[in-house]
Amino acid sequence: MKIGYYPGCSLLGSSREFDESVRALSRAIGLELVEVPDWNCCGASSAHVLDHKLSLALPARILAQAEAAGLTEVLAPCAACYNRLTSARTELAQDPAAAAEIAAIIELPVTGRVKVVNVLELLDRFQDEIKARTKAPFRRKVACYYGCLLVRPPKVVAYDRPEDPHSMDRLMALAGAEPIEWNFKTECCGAAFSVTRTDLVARMSGRIVADAARHGAEAIVVACPMCHSNLDLRRPEINAQLDAPSQVPVLFITQALGLALGLDPVALGLQRHMVPALALQPAAVGKD
Amino acid sequence: MTLAPHPSVHGETLKAKVEQATGVKLNHCYQCGKCAAGCPVARDMDLTSCQILRLIQFSNPEWDRQALQSEAIWLCLACETCSTRCPQEVQVPKVMDFLRTEAVRRDIAHPRSKDILAFHRAFMDSVQQTGRLYEIGLVADYKVRSRHFLKDLLLAPRMLVRGKLPLVPHLIQGRDAIKRIFKRTLGVKP
C-alpha cells in the first residue's frame, strides 16, 4: 500500500525521531510513503494567531501540491499539522468562495479532495500486521496521551471520541501493552507556550506526567511532537515543580510499536529523548 | 427626544465584526460557564472565556475595550476543550483569534502579549524566508524581538547533542510563491 506523506517541520528537527520511527515502522508493515513534493510549513499554532487567511493558505498549498502529485490520501504524523490541514480542507470544501480566493492566493488549484489521516487512523488499518509481527511484546503499563489536536474540534477532525478516545489504547494493547485508566488523556500540554510561557507549560505538562505516574504508567505514549517536546524536553522544568519528580519516559506510538515489532531502538530514535527511554526495550522473547 | 441609532445598526461594532469574520453567533452563549470550567488556563486569565463573550455581546464600546485589552485573549491555546463541550457549539477559539488581531490593529493589546506575539511573528518570519520552520532561526529571532537573551540557554545544547537541532535551514523550491502568499494575506513582513 502507498500513501502520501507530509512530515512537517518538527519531524525534520526537534522531533526527528518521530519521522525516523514512522519510516521504520512503515517499512516493517509494508507501507510505502510518498512525500508531498516541495511541501511548506502548515502554519502550526502561529499563523492563525496572526491572520486567518494565512492560516488557510499555507495548508492549502500543501493540499494543492498533494493533489497535483495525484495523491488521494496524505499521512500527517504531527497532530498539529494533521489538525491544520484537516481544518483547512474542511473550510475549503464547505466554502467555495473561500476556496476560490485561497486558490488565487496560492496560485494553484485546490479542491480539498485529498484526505488527511493521522498516524493512529493509519495504523488502525494495519492491526493484523501489527499483531502478527509483534516479536517482543511491549509488556508495560502505558498511559496513552492524545492531547488536543487529534480529537478536537470533533466536528472538524471527526476522529475517535473527543473526551475518552481509545484508538491508541487499542493499538498498544495489540502490541502487548497494558493501557491504564487515567484522567489526562486529552488535557492540553501547553503547546506553543513552550518558549514564551514555560511556567504554564511546566505546570500543565506537569499535571499530565504526575497523573500518568500516579496511575502506574511505565511509559507515556504520544502521537504529537508538541506534546512530546513539552513532556520530554521540558522534563527538567516539569520536575522542578512536581512534589514527586518523575522519570517516566515519553514515546511516540511509532517507537513503542516499533520496539514491539523488534526494530532497532536506535533506528527508532530512542536515544534522542531527554528522559532515558532506551531501557524500555523489551527482550525479544519470540511470539507467544 | 431622538435616540442615537444603536451602533450595531451600522454593522461596525466589535460584535458584528466578530460574527462576520468567524461565523460565530455571539448571542448563542447563555453563560453556562462550561467553557471556563474546562479551560486549562482559566486560572491564569484575568477574564474567563464566558466573561469575554458576555462583554462583547452588548456592543458597548467600553466593554468591548475591556475584552480587547485583557490578557485572557492571549492565553487561549486553542485547545478546543471549550468549543467541544459548549452546549451551544460556540467556537470560542475562533473568537479569541479574531479578538487578538483586532486588539493589535487598535494598538490596545495587553502588555504581556508582546512576548507571545514576538514568538508567533518570529515563527512566521522563518516560514516566509525558507518555506519551512527553521528552529534555530526561530529561537534567535525570538530572542532579538523579546530581548530575553538568557532564556533557555541550556535547552539548545540539550537538543544539539540529541541531533534535534539541524544547523542549516531547509529551503523549499517554491519560496517565491510562499513570499507572495504572505504578501497577499499578512500584507507586510510578520
pLDDT of B110 strictly over 80? yes
The string of DSSP letters for B119-144 reads HHHHHHHHHHHHSS--HHHHHHHHHH
Is the Cβ pair B139, A195 closer than 8 Å? yes
**Residues A187 and A244 occupy one common structural domain:** yes
Q: Into how many domains does chain A fold?
A: 2
The CATH number linked to A63 is 1.20.1050.140
Residue ending a domain, among A119, A151, A177, is A119
pLDDT of A258 strictly over 70? yes
**Residues A177 and A94 occupy one common structural domain:** no
Q: Among partner residues A12, A50, A187, which is closest to B40 by beta-carbon distance?
A: A187
**Residues A225 and A264 occupy one common structural domain:** yes
**pLDDT of B122-179, one tens digit each?**
999 999 999 999 888 888 888 888 888 888 887 888 888 888 888 888 899 999 999 9
**Residues A43 and A153 occupy one common structural domain:** no
Q: Among partner residues A39, A57, A272, which is closest to B162 by beta-carbon distance?
A: A272
Determine the Cα–Cα distance for residues A157 and A166; give it in Å rounded to an integer.
15
**pLDDT of B15-67, one tens digit each?**
999 999 999 999 999 999 999 999 999 999 999 999 999 999 999 999 999 99
Is the Cβ pair A40, B101 closer than 8 Å? no
Residue B54: how many other CB atoms lie within 10 Å: 16
**Residues A94 and A180 occupy one common structural domain:** no
Q: Among partner residues A38, A148, A187, which is closest to B173 by beta-carbon distance?
A: A38
* Residue A184 domain boundaries: 135-280
pLDDT of A201 strictly over 90? yes
Residue A129: how many other CB atoms lie within 10 Å: 16
Q: Among partner residues B21, B81, B115, which is closest to A188 by beta-carbon distance?
A: B81
**pLDDT of A75-126, one tens digit each?**
999 999 999 999 999 999 999 999 999 999 999 999 889 999 999 999 999 9
In whole numbers, what is the pLDDT of chain B averaged over residues? 91
**pLDDT of A11-49, one tens digit each?**
999 999 999 999 999 999 999 999 999 999 999 989 998
Which of A261-265, B10-14, B162-166 has maximum average pLDDT?
A261-265
The share of chain B scoring above pLDDT 70, in percent, equals: 93
pLDDT of B71 strictly over 60? yes
Query: Is A124 part of a structural domain of the chain?
Result: no
**Residues A102 and A163 occupy one common structural domain:** no
What's the pLDDT score for residue A286?
Answer: 42
In whole numbers, what is the pLDDT of chain A averaged over residues? 94
**Residues A152 and A241 occupy one common structural domain:** yes
**Residues A183 and A214 occupy one common structural domain:** yes
The CATH number linked to A224 is 3.40.50.11810
What's the pLDDT score for residue B2?
Answer: 58
Query: Is A285 part of a structural domain of the chain?
Result: no
Of B159 and A142, the structure prediction assigns the larger pLDDT to A142
What's the pLDDT score for residue B9?
Answer: 52
**pLDDT of A40-53, one tens digit each?**
999 998 999 899 99
Determine the Cα–Cα distance for residues B143 and B121; give it in Å rounded to an integer.
12
What is the helix (H) or strand (E) element at residue A50, kind and residue range? helix A47-50
**Residues A153 and A216 occupy one common structural domain:** yes
Query: Is A168 part of a structural domain of the chain?
Result: yes
Determine the Cα–Cα distance for residues A117 and A172; give it in Å rounded to an integer.
19
Q: Nearest CA to CA, how far is A14 from chain B (Å)? A: 4
A102 → chain B, closest CA residue: B181
- Work out whether the CA dihedral B115, B154, B157, A251 comes out positive or negative: negative
Determine the Cα–Cα distance for residues A178 and A197; give it in Å rounded to an integer.
34
Q: Which residues of A touch B182 (CB under 8 A)?
A: 54
Question: What count of CB pairs under 8 Å joins A to B?
Answer: 156
B86 → chain A, closest CA residue: A153
What's the pLDDT score for residue A117?
Answer: 97
Is the Cβ pair B133, A44 closer than 8 Å? yes
ipTM summary value: 0.91
The share of chain A scoring above pLDDT 90, in percent, equals: 92
What's the pLDDT score for residue A247?
Answer: 96
Angle formed at CA A197 by CA B73 and CA A229, multiple of 5 degrees:
115
B155 → chain A, closest CA residue: A233
Query: Is A130 part of a structural domain of the chain?
Result: no
Query: Is A64 part of a structural domain of the chain?
Result: yes
B168 → chain A, closest CA residue: A13
Q: Among partner residues A9, A106, A187, which is closest to B133 by beta-carbon distance?
A: A9
Please report how the helices A79-94 and A52-68 are oriented relative to each other, as an axis angle in degrees rounded to 10.
90
Residue ending a domain, among A119, A145, A164, is A119
**Residues A172 and A107 occupy one common structural domain:** no
User: Chain A within 8 Å of B128 (Cβ-Cβ)?
Assistant: no
pLDDT of A287 strictly over 80? no
**Residues A112 and A140 occupy one common structural domain:** no
Q: Which of B93, B100, B6 has its CA nearest to residue B41?
A: B93
The string of DSSP letters for A180-249 reads PP-S-TT----TTHHHH-HHHHHHHHHHHHHHHHHTT-SEEEES-HHHHIIIIITHHHHHHT-SS-----
What's the pLDDT score for residue B160?
Answer: 86
Question: What's the whole-number mean pLDDT along residues A181-209?
Answer: 95
CATH code for the domain defined by B9-105: 1.10.1060.10
Looking at the whole model, is its pTM more than 0.95?
no
Q: Which residues of B touch A54 (CB under 8 A)?
A: 124, 181-182, 185-186
Cell 519516559 belongs to which residue? Answer: A249
Residue ending a domain, among A89, A119, A149, is A119
Determine the Cα–Cα distance for residues B161 and B154; give it in Å rounded to an integer.
11
pLDDT of B4 strictly over 60? no
User: Chain A within 8 Å of B159 (Cβ-Cβ)?
Assistant: yes
Q: Which residues of A touch B116 (CB under 8 A)?
A: 49, 193, 196-197
Query: Is A288 part of a structural domain of the chain?
Result: no
B161 → chain A, closest CA residue: A272
**Residues A40 and A111 occupy one common structural domain:** yes
Determine the Cα–Cα distance for residues A223 and A227; give it in Å rounded to an integer.
8
Confidence of residue A285 (pLDDT cuts 50, 70, 90): very low
Residues of chain B with CATH 1.10.1060.10: 9-105
Query: Is A128 part of a structural domain of the chain?
Result: no
